[in-house]
Amino acid sequence: MGIGRELRRLVEVRPAAARRWPTALNASVALALPALVLTLAGEPKLGLLASNGAFLTLYLGDRPLGHRARRLPLVGAGLFLAAALATLTAGNTVVATVVVAAIALASAILTLGLRVGPPGGVFFAMVPGLAAALVAPMATGGSGMSPVTLLAVLALGLVVGYLVVIAPSSCRACGRARPPADRRPRCASR
């Protein structure tokens, strides 16, 4: 009876504690926007690279918008610095692997310690790993991409991701404006 119940819990769908669709919508817009714009500009590879900035939208999704607006730049800076460190060591496969592993370990400790929540350190390992692979020389199996181009496009994607997250706050601020009490419509029944 105990093991059967535990197995059922593995596939059980439970309601989420918070609404998840706004975070998913933000992520999809932040993913598609730079990819579409840069693809239409003739640079589809750069568009896909800029889409990595959409990962920023997944962080702190359960927090109020004001909190996210203040904290997401720190997460974005962390993702950018992790990618920059990886590009600096991309010429040496062993060193790059050690650096990416150290970044993954440090980000896991920080995200757990600071209670960042999902997705935790996952993208702090993935983004620098991708950056190192793209910047590494072709002779070592990399793509030989310019580190400056990679970091510039990643920064663009992170900025787009941040703007997508905070955009609703500007709309809500406009929508919350209420007319003064003396100009509010009165109920006809009074």
Q: What is the pLDDT of residue 152?
A: 96
Per the listing, tokens 């593995």 go with 10
pLDDT band of 178, cuts 50, 70, 90: very low
What angle do the packed helices 65-88 and 147-176 form, to 10 degrees? 180
Residue 88 host element (H or E)? helix 65-88
* Residue 187: pLDDT over 70: no
Q: Is it the case that residue 74 has pLDDT exceeding 70? A: yes
Look at residues 104, 152, 93 and name the one whose alpha carbon lies nearest to residue 126. 104
pLDDT, mean of residues 122-137: 92
User: Do 100 and 132 touch, CB atoms closer than 8 A?
Assistant: yes
Average of pLDDT values for 41-54?
91
In terms of Cα–Cα distance, which of 95, 129, 122, 127 is closest to 108?
Answer: 122
pLDDT band at 65 (very low <50, low <70, confident <90, very high): confident
The mean pLDDT value for 151-170 works out to 92
Q: Which two tokens stand for residue 171?
A: 């709309």
pLDDT range class, residue 24, cuts 50, 70, 90: confident
- Please give the average per-residue pLDDT across 89-110, as a whole number: 93
Spatial distance between the Cα atoms of 83 and 151, rounded to a whole number of angstroms: 7
Tokens of 55: 């990962």
Q: What is the pLDDT of residues 101-116, one digit of tens each?
A: 999 999 999 998 888 8
Task: Choose among 57, 52, 54: nearest CA to 20.
Answer: 57
Q: If pLDDT is split at 50, 70 and 90, which confidence band does 50 have?
A: very high
Domain locations in the chain as residue ranges: 19-52+65-170
Contact in structure between 154 and 83 (CB atoms under 8 Å):
yes
pTM: predicted TM-score of the whole model, two decimal places: 0.78
> Can you read off the two tokens belonging to residue 126?
């993935």
DSSP string, 4-65: HHHHHHHH-----SS--HHHHHHHHHHHHHHHHHHHHTT-HHHHHHHGGGGGGGGTTTTS-H
**pLDDT over 90, % of the chain:** 53
Which residue did the predictor score with more confidence, 182 or 132? 132
Tell me: pLDDT of 188 over 80: no
